[in-house]
Amino acid sequence: MWIVAAVLSALFAGITAILSKCGVKEANSDVATAVRTSVVLVMAWLIVFITGAYTEIAAISVKSWIFLILSGLATGASWICYFKALSIGEVSKVAAVDKSSAVLSVLFAIIIFPDERNLGGLSSYSSR
């Protein structure tokens, strides 16, 4: 199931690049980021309430809260930089550089999560 979600994520990210470039053409990149973030915020909370996941909020540990907050700050910084780059650069070039984040994520995972250094999950999936 994770592979389906990952492929859909890539598809939506590709569409996002094009839609974002169209939206930032005549708008301040910081304002555009705020608008986009507001839409994501509303959408995420709607999903939480529709699925009933809100009952699990109290179960989140302090450690998880800290990492989620840090992740949110990193996401915010990423989106601000991404929209600035889109506002002044070509979408094909900005998106290509932005997608180098996948390589960086793999490198960080190798360093931080040594137990994830194998491709066992991929090989077992592909052998089906």
What was the pLDDT predicted at 119?
59
32 touches 82 (CB < 8 A): no
Specify the pTM.
Answer: 0.77
What was the pLDDT predicted at 54?
96
Break the chain into its structural domains and give their ranges: 2-126
| One pLDDT digit (tens) per residue for the chain, 128 residues | 899 999 999 899 889 989 999 999 999 999 999 999 999 999 999 999 999 999 999 999 999 999 999 999 999 999 999 999 999 999 999 999 999 998 999 889 888 988 877 655 555 444 44
